[in-house]
Amino acid sequence: MTARKIAAAVLAAGLFMAAGHTNKTANSVQADTKPVVLAYYTDESDRSLERYHKRFNLLSTDTLNTDGNGNLVGHVPEKALAAADRYGMEAYALVSNYGENGWDGAIARRVLNEPEAKIRLIRSMLRTVRTHDYAGINIDLEEVRPEDRAAFSRFVRDTAGEMRKIGRKTMVSVPAKTEDDPENGWSGAFDYKAIGREADWIQVMTYDEHGIWGEPGSAAGFAWVDASLKFAVSQTEPSKLLAGLPAYGNDWNLSDPEDQGGGLLKWTEAQRIVRTLKNAGTRDPKSLSMSLRYNAPGGDRHVLWYEDAYSIKAKARLVEKYGLGGISVYALGMEDDSFWRALQSGLN
């Protein structure tokens, strides 16, 4: 069944709800002259949300996933939504395909290609944003197979069309890339041009350039972030783009490459190590991130790659360079006030 036939069948069956209106979207954040700052919320974010709410104006709640049948699993954080409403910020419901074994490409394949699963997922997202008064949805499907590129673009189109009918927005989280290779196993499924024609916001995940799964390096090297954004603005309207910044680094055990017990370290944890060792390490001239080699208790040799105020400020300045809509931060609860001061300094 074609996407057009799917949409017609859905509407005929009365699966989608009638158009509505929300005060939250009456005055679009995109109309503001200042860059927006989106913060990702997890179940460890409540304290940061209350403490640093003046530092950002969009919230994306990372608490919902989809199964292969298009059902939503997880929960809606009512306390966080109440806080967002109290502080006058737009909140987006993030829906991902993160399953019991991590990012699940099989789940993405089913909800993108099987009509019943696709219809059920879009209907569930519509119900969620209306019931809980979200400003919109944040589609975060990862490990999408290259052969599902067209199906993903159609899914964004169909979701955005239905969201517009009820006065809500569609954000799409996409992996960063410096060129469009449709065969690439990680980013090939994401057609920036097609997505940009439909989405209100595109959140470019300019983080995880390196991670514990591979060789040591910056999570978001300046040169890589810069090249990724340069490509992104060549494909779609810059004012729709949000550049992602990590509030974390990574720690590798060089003595035991099989040891992944350290892995991701929050901004605050990395700063604690630096203070304890009284050694900040060295700045990598290409990534502008910090690298610190040290011996852990027990003698194992480690290397920590992390962000500091200088690197965060430098990467935040790319928003102005490329005329982006703003920036996004993953995730609330990993950072402290020094992170936000650096970010605001770069944006200003």
Going by pLDDT thresholds of 50, 70 and 90, the confidence category of residue 143 is: very high
Measured in whole angstroms, how far is the alpha carbon of residue 62 from the centre of its chain?
A: 9
pLDDT at 28 over 60: no
CA atoms of 266 and 259, how far apart (whole Å)? 18
307 is catalytic: no
Alpha-carbon distances, residue 300 vs 278, 282, 303 (angstroms): 19, 20, 10
User: Is the per-residue pLDDT at 14 higher than 60?
Assistant: no
> Cα separation of 152 and 148, whole Å?
6
pLDDT value of residue 30: 43
171-220 confidence digits (pLDDT tens): 999 999 999 999 999 999 999 999 999 999 999 999 999 999 899 999 99
Topology of the domain covering 3-205: TIM Barrel (3.20.20)
Point out the catalytic residue in the list 78, 114, 116, 142.
142
Q: Given this model, what pLDDT does residue 25 score?
A: 41
What does the pLDDT average to over 278-289? 98
